[in-house]
């Protein structure tokens, strides 16, 4: 039996609720017809937004939603997405060459804010600096945040249906500027950031500007950008980081070795966090450049999701392109993806002092999604259940967990070398005398037995809530015709610290302490 200790007298930091955030981009079927079905749709909707998806996001206390990209942001003009929908222009989408779809601009700023308000999430807007000016984004902030009746753009917002300001505080100053966002060098972007940030910061009070940070563990980008921004760091509230773990096998078909290889790639996010954080600390920007991991997750080859069989379900394609029969980058989510999600969120909890926000990519019909939706169908993936069972960590104080996590040894065929993984991934938080413990068993074939004890607290004699996400096969996933093949279960029991986690499964214990 593995023995671990929760060092309850050694807090790490508050787990910002925004660490459990989400990302939405105008790509494939994320919006059309994932989130947006249209006001005249037979699908139950709230002002055109899929009602079931809204309800399920509220159930997991979704804290923040990033929009409109991603790479789509690089060519987005916010003015295209306001006013009467019948008068909005149709544009070439960033992803047009990949899937042949055009952007109808049915969803713009007002619809996105409505979506956030309905779900209870804070909006996080990724602004385009690749093909616009600082004035362009300043006007967007003016439209969103200026008090009622004060400016021409505030009056335009009122004309479009919202008298009161949206008070959007999170603004990304560019997206992936090392790639699609201008193909810049770190030095070039740093000077652009200083220019944009000076203008944007002067627009209204309370803005939190997010600097476009590194891809994966590219420490050179962090060094070059932060070294130049250092003296103007007061205009920065976060430093972005993108991390995708590439596939091993396919989304639904993989060997045990490919399962472990995928997990090894996912756990490498710890190195990415440490490398980037090292430069944040080195330049003394801990207060201004906590990490914002606003794209993360598994990136499998597309085509495994239900949109590849749209016509079988009587769905003729996305709203804006009836000839399209597959959503770009759509992938299924198995128990392997659930384990990646749980282990990653545990890592975020255990690095709470370094991380301000994180948004998994993407919300629906895409990479590592929480939902698959089309027409009347809307189902939760195993990844959704992970966010549901771990929501109790949000806002709690992360505690150090030490002791035996065990070890899994396997031969990585891609690298042709022996490698090791921890058997258990564990994190613990406390809030108002309620302790939340999540343990993910990374083993594909054996149950993990552990004794987890706090150092200065004792578990109460009251029954704890024990949530369990497990399934008969690691390849299991949910489909339209079998939406609950993988589902979350709960039981009530007095908790003495002993925890039993089946193979490729996640257990979260919520227990009162004294």
Which residues participate in catalysis according to the annotation?
176, 295
Tokens of 460: 């109460």
Whole-number Å distance between alpha carbons of 148 and 158: 7
Which residue, chain included where needed, has tokens 């200790």? 5
CA dihedral 117, 299, 180, 325 (to 10 degrees): -80
Whole-number Å distance between alpha carbons of 233 and 190: 11
Is residue 32 classed exposed, middle or buried when 0-12, 13-18 and 19+ CB atoms within 10 A define those classes?
A: buried
| DSSP label of 126 | E
Is residue 47 classed exposed, middle or buried when 0-12, 13-18 and 19+ CB atoms within 10 A define those classes?
A: middle
Q: How many CB atoms lie within 10 A of CB 488?
A: 18
Closest to 21 (Cα-Cα) out of 340, 317, 394: 394
Q: How many CB atoms lie within 10 A of CB 503?
A: 17
Provide the H-helix boundaries in 321-442. 335-350, 382-389
Is residue 95 classed exposed, middle or buried when 0-12, 13-18 and 19+ CB atoms within 10 A define those classes?
A: buried
Q: Are 474 and 444 in contact (CB under 8 A)?
A: yes
Q: How many CB atoms lie within 10 A of CB 70?
A: 27
Phi, psi of 66 (to 5 degrees): -90, 145
Phi, psi of 77 (to 5 degrees): -110, 115
Whole-number Å distance between alpha carbons of 451 and 453: 6
Upstream peptide bond of 490 is cis (omega within 30 degrees of 0): no
């Amino acid at each position: 039996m593995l023995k671990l200790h929760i060092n309850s007298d050694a807090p790490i930091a508050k787990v910002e609720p925004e660490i459990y955030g989400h990302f939405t981009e105008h790509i494939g079927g994320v919006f059309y017809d994932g989130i947006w079905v249209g006001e005249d749709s037979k699908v139950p909707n709230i002002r055109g937004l899929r009602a079931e998806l809204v309800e399920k996001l509220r159930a997991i206390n979704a804290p923040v939603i990033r929009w409109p990209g991603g790479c789509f942001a690089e060519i987005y003009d916010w003015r295209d997405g306001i006013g009467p929908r019948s008068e909005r222009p149709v544009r070439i989408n960033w992803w047009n060459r990949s899937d042949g779809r055009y952007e109808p601009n049915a969803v713009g700023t007002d619809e996105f804010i409505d979506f956030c308000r309905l779900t209870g999430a804070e909006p996080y807007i990724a602004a385009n600096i690749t093909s616009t000016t600082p004035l362009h984004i300043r006007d967007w902030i003016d439209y969103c945040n200026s008090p009622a009746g004060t400016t021409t753009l505030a009056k335009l917002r009122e004309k479009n249906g919202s008298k009161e300001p949206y008070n959007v505080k999170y603004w990304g100053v560019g997206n992936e500027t090392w790639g699609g966002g201008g193909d810049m060098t770190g030095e070039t972007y740093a000077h652009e950031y200083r220019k944009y940030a000076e203008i944007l910061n002067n627009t209204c009070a309370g803005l939190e500007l997010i600097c476009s940070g590194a891809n994966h563990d590219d420490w050179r980008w962090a060094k070059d950008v932060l070294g130049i921004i250092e003296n103007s760091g007061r205009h920065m509230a976060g430093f972005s980081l993108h991390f995708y773990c590439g596939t091993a096998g396919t989304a639904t078909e993989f060997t045990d070795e490919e399962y472990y290889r995928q997990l090894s790639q996912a756990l490498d996010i710890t190195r990415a966090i440490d490398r980037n954080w090292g430069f944040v600390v080195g330049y003394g920007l801990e207060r201004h450049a906590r990490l914002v991991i606003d794209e993360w997750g598994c990136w499998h080859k597309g085509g495994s999701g239900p949109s590849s069989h749209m016509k079988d379900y009587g769905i003729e394609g996305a709203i804006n392109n009836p000839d399209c029969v597959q959503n770009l980058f759509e992938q299924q989510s198995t128990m392997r993806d659930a384990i990646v999600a749980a282990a990653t969120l545990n890592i975020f909890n255990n690095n709470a002092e370094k991380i301000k926000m994180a948004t998994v990519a993407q919300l629906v019909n895409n990479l590592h999604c929480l939902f698959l939706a089309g027409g009347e169908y809307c189902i939760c993936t195993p990844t959704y259940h992970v966010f549901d069972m771990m929501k109790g960590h949000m806002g709690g104080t992360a505690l150090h967990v030490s002791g035996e996590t065990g070890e899994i040894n396997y031969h990585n065929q891609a690298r042709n070398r022996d490698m090791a993984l921890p058997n258990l991934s564990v994190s613990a938080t406390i809030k108002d005398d309620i302790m939340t413990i999540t343990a993910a068993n990374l083993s594909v074939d054996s149950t993990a037995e552990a004794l987890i004890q706090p150092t200065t607290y004792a578990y109460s004699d009251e029954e704890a809530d024990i949530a369990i996400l497990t399934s008969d096969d690691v390849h299991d996933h949910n489909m339209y015709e079998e939406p609950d093949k993988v589902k979350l279960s709960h039981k009530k029991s007095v908790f003495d610290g002993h925890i039993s986690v089946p193979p490729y499964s996640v257990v979260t214990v919520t227990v009162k302490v004294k």
